[in-house]
Structure 1
Amino acid sequence: MKYLKYLLYVVLALVVVFLGKGLMTPSIAYECEVTVNKPAAEAWAVMSDESRLAEWLEGYKNGELVSGEKNTVGAVSNIYVEENGEEMVMQETITAIEPNRLMAMTFTMDFMNMDYQITLEEKDGQTIVRTQSLVTGNGLMNQSVVSFFPSMMKEQEEKNLSNLKQLVESNTINYFPEPEVVEMEEDSTAAM
């Protein structure tokens, strides 16, 4: 009986520490950065190409517009991702957008919410891509879980940015085709 009492105290202490960490750290913030050897306009075009999102965002399956106009402030989409063989859905709402420079959005899930911002800054033909994330667990239990995994979340974002860098630098799609010039023939009847 004495060992059971000590075991109960240990379990209780672990629960208090776990929940206390969630109370002390209800959200986590992290930033990541990568330099891409392409101009910002091309980095933006590749990053925004929905047909290529799965090539750099690990687990991305697809997205569907729920309301608003695609790629505008206020647009809401359901984003489907797969993690460990299980499909999850999160709701994405665009909160700011400046083509070739900035996109900010919120992601809402049962487990947590995330405020996410990605900025592009061009210098000497290269682009610095920076992300900022603020993750908040929904409820005390989820806050506690989130508070124990900041390094894992940052590692995933660094991997995604590394994938984006490789994708942009190896891009062969011409997102900016030159308009075709058509020469007009002179109308011989107009001169008469």
Structure 2
Amino acid sequence: MKYLKYILGIIGVLVIVFFMIGIIKPELTYEAEIMVDKPLAESWAVSQDEEKMGDWLDGFQRIEHISGTPGTVGAVSDVYFVTEGQEMIIRETITDIDPEKSCSMIFSNDFMDMDYTIYMEPVDRRTKISSTTTVKGNGIVSKSMSALFSGTFKTQEETNLANLKKTIESNSKDYMKGMD
């Protein structure tokens, strides 16, 4: 009986610590950056091409446009991913867009909201691509879990940008054709 009290006491302390983490750190912010050996216009076009999103976003399946004009401020879409055999739907709302410079979006689901911005800038004949993300859990459990797994979020973004770099640098589609 004495050991049961100790075990229950330890579990109680761990639960309190878990919830305190979410209270102390209810959101997290991280950044990532890559250099791409392609010009800005092509880098931007590839990053916005829905047909290529599966090449650089892990688990990406498709996008369904819900409202607004795709690729413009206020456009709302459901983005479908499969992760570990489970389908996940994330609601994307474009909050700001400056073509060939930046695109800001809010990604929402039951677990969390992400405020995400991708930036692009020319550097010689290359493109610097960077992102800033702020994650906020939608409840005390998700806030605590987000804080505990913050490294996982940043690693996933770094992987996504590395995959975007490969996708852009291996691109053979001529996005400039007909735009002259």
Q: TM-score, normalised by structure 1?
A: 0.92
Deviation of 1:141 after TM superposition, in Å, equals 0.9
Aligned to 2:142: 142
The yes-or-no answer on 1:175 pairing with 2:175 is yes
State which structure, 1 or 2, has the greater radius of gyration over its C-alpha atoms. Answer: 1
Where does structure 1 lack aligned partners over 5 or more consecutive residues? 181-192
The yes-or-no answer on 1:75 pairing with 2:89 is no
Residue 134 of structure 1 aligns to a residue in which SS? strand
1:90-101 equivalences under 5 Å are: 90-101=90-101
Residue 177 of structure 1 aligns to a residue in which SS? coil
Aligned pair count? 180
Residue 142 of structure 1 aligns to a residue in which SS? helix
Measured in 1, the distance between the counterparts of 2:42 and 2:153 equals 27
Deviation of 1:179 after TM superposition, in Å, equals 6.9
Residue 110 of structure 1 aligns to a residue in which SS? coil
Note the alpha carbon deviations across 1:74-109, whole angstroms, 9 max, x for none: 000011011111001010000000111100000010
The yes-or-no answer on 1:115 pairing with 2:115 is yes
**Structure 2 counterpart of 1:43, one-letter code:** S
Aligned to 1:65: 65
1:1-192 equivalences under 5 Å are: 1-177=1-177
Distance change in 2, residues 1:179/1:18 (3 Å): closer
Measured in 1, the distance between the counterparts of 2:126 and 2:179 equals 26
Measured in 2, the distance between the counterparts of 1:80 and 1:59 equals 8
The percent identity for this pair of structures is: 44
Distance change in 2, residues 1:179/1:87 (3 Å): closer
Distance change in 2, residues 1:179/1:57 (3 Å): closer
Deviation of 1:46 after TM superposition, in Å, equals 0.5
**Structure 2 counterpart of 1:111, one-letter code:** F
Distance change in 2, residues 1:35/1:145 (3 Å): same
Deviation of 1:177 after TM superposition, in Å, equals 1.3
Residue 144 of structure 2 aligns to a residue in which SS? helix
Residue 41 of structure 1 aligns to a residue in which SS? helix
Q: TM-score, normalised by structure 2?
A: 0.98
Where does structure 2 lack aligned partners over 5 or more consecutive residues? none
Provide runs of 4+ in structure 1 moved above 3 Å.
Answer: none
